């Protein structure tokens, strides 16, 4: 990681020289100027992470107004840049005023070298964190995905989303895997009063227990063996925006207490620090598990469930959304015909009927993959039922002795296709028939 660029602005050239000697070995680029009017041109030529700014530049004037003027200029034109002020002990009240106007910190004269270095490094780390948040905002806007469909089940969900989005209520989104819970969370953020800020995603199931606190709350340099620099956690990055905790049902019981404390108090401490950091977030969680059942089994804290579940939104499975299946299929068809250079590809009525009858245990995610596979492997301009390879979903255990010959044959074909992952040559080999015979059987049984 880059160490950062520092601009020093002070009319005392001896102070500039001293700071250059002290900071030079620690950062990538150090530049000192004694005339603040050169600030705009310097910032156009070099991307600075930190400006160390004196408060007074004219002899005999100690009001600090010049420093406040240039602080305002910097924060207006370069809002992410960190500004640390140099001030005499007698000007502490002035420095506090500057902090309220956006300064990152202040350094009293005469300074202690170790404290000045620590202040500069922390200010540069803050700049990097702000840039990261800015990138997240850009990615969120660029990767904006839309919720597709008009079924009554989906419209009920979207009506709830519109009602709760403008509030700061904690939301729990539930539903099976692949139903689009993350899209619902993003829609809540998009419609909220925080939509100009970032939404930070955290997959709770993917964070190891040893890294949980560091990932969520951050750490300070030296807090543990690999902590080589200060680092902001997800809570801090999401400040003023939305924090989305996905798969919260996978969080181990003993870590739930630490999460609960941060949610309740809206503050936390980085690992290795004794300073509490207040945070202003909108909390949205999601899970495919029955949290109330987990509470009864002693696997999920009841107080945490109440805290995250002010409003619960249940996302319906795809099989309950009727014609939305075809609407989504058409959407994915356009996406993948464009991606793979197969314009004009259509799904015929028989294939649509097949898609509507299927139970979609993998929901929208499974439908997306099914359409993509059909586009890749399809040989004609029209996709037919045999172009869609769906895994057999049995509602219960079959008792083979009560099946008809045709039912057993259909079951064998479905099993072979599933085992071969849709490879028709492999499936026909398993069944001991030609590929054409297999296609004829598929058409016969409407598979």
389 DSSP 8-state letter: -
Burial of 88 (0-12, 13-18, 19+ CB in 10 A): middle
**Domain match, 167 and 279 both:** yes
Enclosing domain of residue 411? 392-447
Q: How confident is the model at residue 331, as a pLDDT? A: 94
Rounded CA separation 226/127 (Å):
21
Q: How confident is the model at residue 397, as a pLDDT? A: 43
Total domains in the fold of the chain: 4
Q: How confident is the model at residue 314, as a pLDDT? A: 96
Tally of CB atoms within 10 A around 17: 12
Residue 435 sits in a domain whose CATH number is 1.10.10.60
Rounded CA separation 179/367 (Å):
10
For residues 10 and 56, the answer to whether their CB atoms sit within 8 Å is: no
Residue 343 in any domain: the answer is: yes
Q: How confident is the model at residue 11, as a pLDDT? A: 87
Q: How confident is the model at residue 236, as a pLDDT? A: 92
**Domain match, 440 and 361 both:** no
Residue 137 in any domain: the answer is: no
Ramachandran angles phi, psi of 183, nearest 5°: -65, -40
Radius of gyration (C-alpha) of the chain in whole angstroms: 30
| Structure tokens that stand for 113 in this block | 């070298």
Rounded CA separation 8/120 (Å):
11
**Domain match, 172 and 221 both:** yes
List the helix and strand counts (H, then E) for the chain: 18, 14
Q: How confident is the model at residue 140, as a pLDDT? A: 52
Among residues 110, 132, 154, the one where a domain terminates is 132
**Domain match, 70 and 215 both:** no
Rounded CA separation 281/297 (Å):
30
Residue 384 sits in a domain whose CATH number is 1.10.8.60
**Domain match, 276 and 201 both:** yes
Residue 219 sits in a domain whose CATH number is 3.40.50.300
Residue 84 in any domain: the answer is: yes
**Domain match, 154 and 303 both:** yes
**Domain match, 266 and 344 both:** no
**Domain match, 158 and 24 both:** no
pTM, entire model: 0.63
Rounded CA separation 381/333 (Å):
12
Among residues 342, 363, 390, the one where a domain terminates is 390
The candidate with the shortest Cα–Cα distance to 161, out of 364, 327, 312, 318, is: 312
Task: Please tell me whether residue 421 adopts helix, strand or coil conformation.
Answer: coil
Residue 21 sits in a domain whose CATH number is 3.40.50.2300
Q: How confident is the model at residue 109, as a pLDDT? A: 82
The candidate with the shortest Cα–Cα distance to 347, out of 366, 363, 364, 332, is: 332
For residues 221 and 182, the answer to whether their CB atoms sit within 8 Å is: no
For residues 83 and 53, the answer to whether their CB atoms sit within 8 Å is: yes
Residue 306 in any domain: the answer is: yes
**Domain match, 36 and 111 both:** yes
Rounded CA separation 425/389 (Å):
13
**Domain match, 204 and 329 both:** no
**Domain match, 180 and 291 both:** yes
Residue 138 in any domain: the answer is: no
The candidate with the shortest Cα–Cα distance to 393, out of 372, 351, 349, 363, is: 363
Q: How confident is the model at residue 413, as a pLDDT? A: 87
Low-confidence ranges of the chain (pLDDT < 50): 1, 142-143, 394-399
For residues 297 and 258, the answer to whether their CB atoms sit within 8 Å is: no
Residue 435 in any domain: the answer is: yes
Rounded CA separation 354/325 (Å):
11
Name the strand (E) or helix (H) holding 358: none
Among residues 294, 314, 334, the one where a domain terminates is 314
**Domain match, 328 and 262 both:** no
CA atoms in the 13 A half-sphere facing the CB of 60: 0
């Amino acid at each position: 990681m880059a160490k950062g660029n520092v601009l020093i602005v002070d009319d005392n050239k001896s102070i500039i020289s001293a700071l250059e000697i002290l900071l030079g070995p620690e950062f990538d680029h150090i530049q000192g100027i004694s005339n603040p009017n050169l600030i705009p041109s310097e910032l156009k030529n070099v991307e600075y992470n930190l400006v160390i700014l004196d408060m007074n530049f004219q002899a005999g004037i100690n009001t600090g107004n010049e420093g406040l003027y240039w602080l305002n200029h910097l924060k207006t034109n370069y809002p992410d840049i960190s500004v640390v002020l140099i001030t005499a002990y007698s000007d502490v009240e002035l420095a506090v005023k500057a902090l309220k106007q956006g300064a990152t910190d202040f350094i009293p004269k005469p300074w202690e070298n170790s404290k000045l270095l620590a202040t500069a490094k922390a200010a540069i780390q803050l700049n990097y964190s702000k840039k990261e948040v800015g990138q997240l905002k850009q990615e969120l806007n660029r990767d904006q995905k839309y919720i597709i469909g008009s079924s009554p089940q989906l419209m009920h969900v979207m009506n709830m989303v519109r009602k709760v989005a403008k509030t700061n209520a904690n939301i729990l989104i539930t539903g099976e895997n692949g139903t689009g819970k993350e899209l619902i969370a993003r829609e809540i953020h998009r419609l909220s009063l925080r939509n100009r800020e970032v939404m930070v995603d955290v997959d709770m199931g993917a964070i190891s227990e040893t890294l949980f606190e560091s990932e969520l709350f951050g750490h300070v340099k030296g807090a543990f063996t690999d902590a080589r620099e200060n680092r902001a956690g997800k809570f801090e990055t999401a400040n003023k925006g939305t924090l989305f905790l996905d798969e919260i049902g996978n969080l181990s019981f003993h870590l739930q207490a630490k999460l609960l404390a941060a949610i309740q108090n809206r503050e936390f401490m980085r690992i290795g620090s004794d300073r509490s950091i207040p945070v202003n977030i909108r909390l949205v969680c999601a899970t495919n598990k029955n949290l109330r059942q987990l509470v009864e089994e002693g696997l999920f804290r009841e107080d945490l469930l109440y805290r995250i579940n002010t409003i619960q939104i249940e996302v319906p499975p795809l099989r309950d959304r009727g014609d939305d299946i075809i609407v989504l299929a058409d959407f994915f068809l356009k996406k993948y015909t464009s991606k793979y250079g197969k314009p004009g590809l259509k799904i015929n009525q028989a294939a649509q009927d097949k898609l509507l009858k299927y139970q979609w245990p993998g929901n929208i995610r499974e439908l997306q993959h099914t359409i993509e596979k059909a586009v890749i492997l399809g040989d004609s301009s029209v996709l037919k039922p045999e172009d869609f390879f769906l895994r057999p979903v049995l509602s219960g255990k079959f008792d083979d002795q009560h099946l008809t010959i045709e039912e057993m044959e259909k079951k064998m074909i479905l099993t072979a296709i599933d085992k071969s992952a849709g490879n028709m040559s492999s499936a026909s080999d398993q069944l001991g028939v030609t590929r054409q015979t297999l296609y004829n059987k598929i058409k016969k049984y409407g598979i």
